[in-house]
Structure 1
Amino acid sequence: MKRANTRPVRAGTVIIGGGNPIVVQSMCATRTTDIEATAAQAKMLHEAGAGLVRIAVDSAKDVAALAEIRARVPEANLVVDLQENYRLITQVAPHVNKVRYNPGHLYHHERQKTVREKVAFIAETAARHDLAVRVGVNCGSVDPDMDAKFEGADPPGLEGVTAMVESALEHCAILDDLRFDRYVVSLKDSDPRKVIESNVRFAVVRPEVPLHLGVTEAGMLPDGAIKTRIAFEQLLSRGIGDTIRVSLTLPFAEKWREVEVGRQIIADVEAGRFRSVPQFLEGGLNIISCPSCSRVENEAFVDLAFKVKEMTAYAKEYDITIAVMGCRVNGPGETDDADLGLWCAPTFVNLKKGEQELGAFPYDTVLDRLKEELDRLIEEKKAAAARA
């Protein structure tokens, strides 16, 4: 496989970039405070071939559990998302090999400080503890200033790509100025076309920076694997991509399938076997759902996502996007661009139509209300087609 000449970045026992084998990643779906289950799943993912295993840490209890998980699974290279609290890096650093921060989340936390000050805190701590860093830019949580600055800069279908790329480039420049080069970058969206475009644009400007590839909220099998394959085939075949994450909504016991799908895509591209289905992007019902990870606030989210897929099958011919999100991190922002969105709280589900909030409903009744809104949306589309 053709590979870009990126610099090598070590994360524990794996090296990302530098012509090394592409590293497959996954993320534990268990609650971090459930030490027994999380350690078992981290071990399972590692043995399935995940070179890096990510764990969600959001509290002091999670940090304490992480230390025990690290002790139980010393063979796995662990990664932690800093999410909204970048200062957690000081507590998790002794137990992991890599951290990821989101520039959009960094923007919102401790607004009295400059972005550079916050990035410097992360870089200095990472250097002191021998950690790699991922700058993870996501479609639904771009720095608002960057989003506003480049509003309208992209053609239809690629909205937001320029803001994503510029955000990543800005943070690369800050890290370079801080003389910290042990970082990789990711630019993710739930639309494979935006993933392809953003990573190609970035690679032209910063070809030496290793790239972490992923399609966010790819959804359930088989659609989630198809969306991911479309993006990965186009990028890996151009030499773009040094580590990958397949994000699928799966029963918690089947998280190993993310690793399996990722390894299969790499093997197929290496062998010249291309299985993309481009017509998948030409319209019709599109269900996006975030991966079943340890940030999920109610495990009923996974069951709900499968029920949404089953219930909405009758609308497959309509160009409608439905988003099902499992937590407050992805939920509010990343349902905005969907026609209908559900983001799941611990005891209820928030239903949205675009950015409009329609209310909060119990898990056992939200499907009925979703169907009402879907039927209404279908009628609107029929009426619009009749007028055209």
Structure 2
Amino acid sequence: MKRAATRPVPVGSVIIGGGNPIVVQSMCATRTTDIEATAAQVRMLHEAGAGVVRVAVDSAKDVAALVEIRARVPEANLSVDLQENYRLVTQVAPLVNKVRYNPGHLHHHEKQKSVRDKVAFIAETADRHGIALRVGVNCGSVDPEMAAKFDGADPPELDGVTAMVESALQHCAILDDLGFDRYVVSLKDSDPRKVIEANTRFAAIRPEVPLHLGVTEAGMLPDGAIKTRIAFEQLLSRGIGDTIRVSLTLPFAEKWREIEVGRQIIADVEAGRFRSVPKFLDGGLNIISCPSCSRVENEAFVDLAFKVKEMTAYAKEYDITIAVMGCRVNGPGETDDADLGLWCAPTFVNLKRGEVELGAFPYDTVLDRLKEELDRLIAEKQAAATARER
């Protein structure tokens, strides 16, 4: 396989970039504070072939649990997702091999401090402990200043790509200026076209920076694997990408399937086998659902996502996007672009139509309200089509 000449970034026992084998990653679906379950899942993912396993840490309780998890699974290369609380890096750095921070989340705490000062705090801590960083830019949580600055810079089908790329480039420049080069970058979206465009643009400007590829909220099998394959085939075949994450909505016990799908895509690209069927780029019902990760606030989210897929099957011919998100971190922002969006809190589900909040509903009744909104949306589309024909 053609490979870009990126610099090597050590992450525990693996090296990302530098012509080394592509590293397949995954993320735990269990609550970090459930030490027994999380340690078991780290071990399962490691044994399935995950070069790096990520867990979410957002509180002192999560940090305490991570201490025990690391002790139980010392052989795994661990990455931590810092979420909003960037200062926790000082507590987690001694326990892990890599830390991921989201540029868009650095605005949520200590707003009087500059982004550069916060990045410096993270980078200095990482350097002191000899660990790597990932600058993780996500479509639904782009730096608000970048989003405003580049609003309208892209055609509708690529909306937000420029803001993502510029945010990543800004943080690379900060890290470079700080003298820290042990980092990788990710630019993720739920639309494979945006993932291809963002990573291609970034790689043309910063070809030496290793890239972590992913289609976020790809959804359930088999659709989620196909969406991911569309992006990965195009990028990996061009030499773009040094580590990958397949993000699927799965029962917690089946997270190993993310590794299986990722390894199969790599093997196919290496052998010149291209199997993607880009039906999702040509209209029709598109279900976006985030992976069952440790940020999920109620395990009922996974069951709800499958029920949404089953209930909405009658609308498969309509160009409609429905997003099902499992937490408050990604839920609010990453449902904005969907026609209908659900983001799940611990005891209720927030229902949206575009950016408009329709209310919060119990898990056992939200499907009925979702169907009402879907039927209304279909009727509007049918009326619009009839009007055009006249």
User: With structure 1 as the length reference, what TM-score do the two structures score?
Assistant: 0.99
1:44 paired residue number: 44
2:342 paired residue number: 342
1:252 paired residue number: 252
Aligned residues: 388
Runs of 5+ unmatched residues, structure 2? none
Q: Which amino acid aligns with 2:330?
A: N
2:361 paired residue number: 361
Please give the alpha-carbon distance, in whole angstroms, between the structure 2 residues aligned to 1:147 and 1:108.
16
TM superposition shift of 1:281: 1.3
TM superposition shift of 1:111: 1.0
1:282 is aligned to 2:315: no
Aligned-pair identity in percent equals 89
Please give the alpha-carbon distance, in whole angstroms, between the structure 1 residues aligned to 2:149 and 2:283.
30
Please give the alpha-carbon distance, in whole angstroms, between the structure 2 residues aligned to 1:311 and 1:297.
23
Q: Which amino acid aligns with 1:53?
A: V
1:163 is aligned to 2:143: no
Matches within 5 A, 1:29-68: 29-68=29-68
Please give the alpha-carbon distance, in whole angstroms, between the structure 2 residues aligned to 1:188 and 1:34.
28
TM superposition shift of 1:168: 0.2
1:104 paired residue number: 104
Please give the alpha-carbon distance, in whole angstroms, between the structure 1 residues aligned to 2:318 and 2:293.
30
1:227 paired residue number: 227
TM superposition shift of 1:280: 2.7
2:151 paired residue number: 151
Matches within 5 A, 1:1-388: 1-388=1-388
Please give the alpha-carbon distance, in whole angstroms, between the structure 1 residues aligned to 2:100 and 2:158.
25
- Residue by residue over 1:105-164, the C-alpha shift from the partner in whole angstroms, topping out at 9 and shown as x without a partner, is 012321101111000000000000111000000000001110111111101200000000
- SS of the residue 2:158 aligns to: coil
Please give the alpha-carbon distance, in whole angstroms, between the structure 1 residues aligned to 2:280 and 2:111.
41
Please give the alpha-carbon distance, in whole angstroms, between the structure 1 residues aligned to 2:280 and 2:190.
13
Please give the alpha-carbon distance, in whole angstroms, between the structure 2 residues aligned to 1:354 and 1:57.
30
Q: Which amino acid aligns with 2:247?
A: S
TM superposition shift of 1:27: 0.5
TM superposition shift of 1:86: 0.5
TM superposition shift of 1:99: 0.2
Please give the alpha-carbon distance, in whole angstroms, between the structure 2 residues aligned to 1:110 and 1:24.
34
Please give the alpha-carbon distance, in whole angstroms, between the structure 2 residues aligned to 1:218 and 1:156.
20
After superposition, the CA RMSD in angstroms is: 0.5
- Residue by residue over 1:1-44, the C-alpha shift from the partner in whole angstroms, topping out at 9 and shown as x without a partner, is 00000000001111000000000000011111111111010000
Please give the alpha-carbon distance, in whole angstroms, between the structure 1 residues aligned to 2:184 and 2:130.
15
Q: Which amino acid aligns with 1:9?
A: V
User: With structure 2 as the length reference, what TM-score do the two structures score?
Assistant: 0.99
Please give the alpha-carbon distance, in whole angstroms, between the structure 2 residues aligned to 1:114 and 1:303.
41
Structure 1 runs (4+) greater than 2 angstroms displaced: none
Runs of 5+ unmatched residues, structure 1? none
- SS of the residue 1:116 aligns to: helix
- SS of the residue 1:168 aligns to: helix
Please give the alpha-carbon distance, in whole angstroms, between the structure 1 residues aligned to 2:41 and 2:148.
40
Indicate conservation of the 8 Å contact 2:227/2:278, yes or no: no
